[in-house]
Amino acid sequence: MENIIRLRNLVAEYDGERVLNDISLDIRDKEFVTLLGPSGCGKTTTLRIIGGFLQPKQGDVLFEGKRINALPPYKRQVNTVFQRYALFPHLNVFENIAFGLRIKKLPEKEIIRLVGEMLALVGLNGYEKRNVGHLSGGQQQRVAIARALVNHPKVLLLDEPLGALDLKLRKGMQVELKRIQQSMEITFIYVTHDQEEALTMSDTVVVMKDGNIQQIGTPQDIYNEPTNAFVADFIGESNIIDGIMHEDFLVEFAGQKFECVDKGFGKMQLVDVVIRPEDIRLLPPQEGDISGVVESVIFKGVHYEMIIDACGYKWTVHSTLCEEPGAIVGMHVKPFDIHIMHRMEEE
């Protein structure tokens, strides 16, 4: 697969404040890429630069190998699904979707056919004449997607499109968006702060923070092999503990030495030790590597979330076993589940 969009050393500023710090990113054709990060990380800024609504201060945007920095939005072969949908309130559902086609001056018959196709794709047949202001959030969302897709863009940009929907609807739309992306075979660039959404839909996840890219990888890579404690913490919950790397495959934390699978950190180095809550096994106190006191238990549906106080750190543990608060428990972690990371620079 070739790269459809390449971003080269992008720098962007808002009111003199730097929001993108030398970003480079290649996006392959027909890929579902998610830009993931907390608010203010620069993900929307990146999207707006690709859409042409914002000029980078430095760097290049390449589309199919051509530099498009100076190309205005209306000449770009990308379409956007805006955060709050941005439907035209003076037009009905049909005319909203037909907007781009009418600009292109397509014949009326063709417009009716294409809009009909799109309405079927997003499941809104029969809504042609509806006023967009009278639609539910989920329906408005579908109109916004249809309005962008009807132009058959090479790349679709989506700016937190599911942010305003309730949980159930969001889950449904996630599956549907993935289906649409695969059936239409176009590149999706999706911006979200919801890690679960990113993992569910993406081929590639780009984790961003403070205008920098932290990690690029498949959802599995990002989840299982986070490059630093920020990514580990942002993608799912994590216990992040100070540790000392004694030598390859041996790390000390919580007052004990543990076998691990990481190497190449040098000897006696301060590191971050990251352990997923679901990777901690609860055992009777004497059988565990570490023992601690259960502080609180919350029922989460599939599992219980427990906070366990051990060795001066409050561990988050997910388990299907339920322990009473106050109980003393032992904890065990397999070497494979201990992730060692370089310390992040102090903020």
Residues found near other proteins in the complex (CB under 8 A) = 51-53, 72-75, 78-80, 82-84, 86-90, 99-100, 102-104, 131-134, 147-148, 151
- 122 secondary structure, DSSP code: T
Contact 60, 69 (CB under 8 A): yes
From the CB of 53, what's the least distance to other proteins, in Å? Answer: 6
Minimum distance from CB of 199 to other proteins (Å)? 28
State how far the alpha carbon of 144 is from the alpha carbons of 72, 149, 212, 321, 345, in Å. Answer: 21, 9, 30, 45, 41
User: Which lies closer to other proteins via its Cβ, residue 96 or residue 204?
Assistant: 96
Q: Which helix (H) or strand (E) holds 129?
A: none
DSSP per residue, 238-294: -EEEEEEEEETTEEEETTEEEE-S---S-SSEEEEEEE-GGGPEEE-GGGSSEEEEE
Q: Is 143 or 341 the residue whose CB approaches other proteins more closely?
A: 143
Helix (H) or strand (E) holding 81: strand 78-81
Which CB atom, from 39 or from 286, has the smaller least distance to other proteins?
39
Minimal distance, residue 143 CB to other proteins, in Å? 12
By C-alpha distance, which of 302, 301, 306 is closest to 323?
306
Shortest Cβ 76–other proteins spacing (Å): 8
In terms of CB distance, is 129 or 168 closer to other proteins? Answer: 129
C-beta of 133 vs 266, nearer to other proteins: 133
What's the min distance (Å) between Cβ of 31 and other proteins?
21
Q: Which residue lies nearer to other proteins by CB, 153 or 288?
A: 153
Mark residue 223 as left, alpha or beta (left: phi above 0; alpha: psi -120 to 50; beta: remaining): alpha
Q: Least distance from C-beta 4 to other proteins, angstroms?
A: 18
Beta strands 17-28; 3-14: pairing state: antiparallel
